[in-house]
Amino acid sequence: MPLSALPPIATSLPDYRAMEDTVLAARIGAVRQQMGPRLVILGHHYQQDGVIAHADLQGDSYQLSKSAAERSTCEAIVFCGVHFMAETADILANRPDKVAARGGRRVNVILPDMAAGCSMADMAAIEQVEDAWSDLATTIDTSEITPVTYINSAASLKAFCGKHGGIVCTSSNAEAVLKWSFAQRRRVLFFPDQHLGRNTAKRMSIPLNEMCLWNPHEPRLGGNDSKQVEKSRVILWQGHCSVHAMFRPEHVAAMRQNIPDIKILVHPECPMEVVDQADQAGSTSYIIRQVEQAPAGTKWAIGTELHLVKRLEQLYPEQQIRFLSPVVCMCATMYRIDLAHLCWSLEHLAIGKPVNLIRVDDETAKWAVTALERMLAVG
């Protein structure tokens, strides 16, 4: 149905919230039809099904950033994900060379709900990282450290890595990025997710006693003594994902006891004690691939965000898929992106009055893109 055939655009979010999902879906479809290839909707695997149904591309953090980096002709990217993902899309879609090639036109990047943040990204502020770097310089030579930020971080942290010879990683390339980092320098400062950092370093045979945990709230050396810092090859920021931290080793033990031939498949944001006991660990796309490729009848207990596990259950009814935890582990901020916010932001975009624009300032973007491009080159 064309947009003109629908009732006129509502103005406030409560008006959209009052609409039935079927009405919202029809209006979203109408904007997509009207804008055609000028509009790209990106959706992370953790989004709810109703939202994913409208995405041009569904992916993990790496695939979505790569897709944003490759967009050169669209006018707008509406990002159904969280704030750091939209920032990354803005940085990559609006690299100065791309903007120049478009005659100065920027791609508008829109996050349908500005409150869709990431609690893990909020655990490392740029001031804390800069303080940590200065504090480390009192004990070790910081020119020996590659700073590595997980993509789940503010643009300012990516810029910090760009300026200091560092790099960005995602859960799908963390090992390749750490290898690259150690090829540059002998130590790594990894933020904000201690678990992805520890799980990846351990998989690369770095012993735990060559890692230390940096608590940004401690007054000196992140709560470590200087000897511990000196012998550390990996300095792990004390941050975590509040969703994946809820998976516990006792959940793995209980599953194995009840269903002896079950396969445990988890995301590497889970604590080390869970990853160590799992059969396989990897990014959201890795998890999807394992299930896709498995024969009918395979029994899985999956430790990642609930919406993805529920979708897999529906897509692969011939397999026996269970959620690893007995309690609900759901990303409340991803869930903020609903049909009402999506429709509200799309209709404003369609009438030339975009809302919720994400715009990283030029100086931050310049350095952040350096770190992001190093990551894209690693793959």
Q: Which residues bind ligand SF4 (CB under 6 A)?
A: 82, 118-120, 152, 241-243, 305, 331, 333-334
Cα of 313 vs its chain's centroid, Å = 22
| Least CB distance to ligand SF4 at residue 179 (A) | 23
Residue nearer to ligand 13P on the CB measure, 116 or 136: 116
How far apart are CB 59 and ligand 13P at their closest, in Å? 8
Cβ contact 212:166 at 8 Å? no
| Least distance from ligand 13P to the Cβ atom of residue 60, Å | 3
Smallest distance from the beta carbon of 107 to ligand SF4, in angstroms?
23
Q: Are 83 and 121 in contact (CB under 8 A)?
A: yes
Q: Is the Cβ of residue 152 or residue 345 nearer to ligand 13P in the bound state? A: 152
Interface residue list for ligand 13P (CB under 6 A): 45, 60-62, 118, 152, 170-172, 241, 269, 283-284
**In the complex with ligand 13P, which residue's Cβ is closer, 16 or 62?**
62
Between 46 and 344, name the residue whose CB sits nearer to ligand 13P.
Answer: 46
What single string gives the DSSP state of each residue in 254-288?
HHHHH-TT-EEEE-TTS-HHHHHHSSEE--HHHHH
Nearer to ligand SF4, 173 or 370 (CB): 173
Of these partners, ligand 13P, ligand SF4, none, which one is at the site of residue 58 (CB under 5 to 8 Å by kind)? none
Decide: 162 and 230 in contact? Cβ < 8 Å.
no
The answer to whether 279 touches 265, Cβ cutoff 8 Å, is: yes
* Cα–Cα dist 347/277, whole Å: 47
Give the CB-side neighbour count of residue 170, counting CA atoms within 13 A: 24
What gap in Å lies between CA 77 and CA 84, rounded to an integer? 14
CB of 175 to ligand SF4, least distance (A): 18
Q: From the list ligand 13P, ligand SF4, none, which binds 242 (C-beta under 5 to 8 Å, kind-based)?
A: ligand SF4
Partner that binds at residue 170, options ligand SF4, ligand 13P, none, CB closer than 5 to 8 Å by kind? ligand 13P
Contact 82, 116 (CB under 8 A): yes
Are 104 and 136 in contact by the 8 Å Cβ rule? The answer is no
> At its nearest, how many Å lie between ligand 13P and the CB of residue 62?
6
Instruction: Identify which of residues 94 and 171 has a Cβ nearer to ligand 13P in the complex.
Output: 171
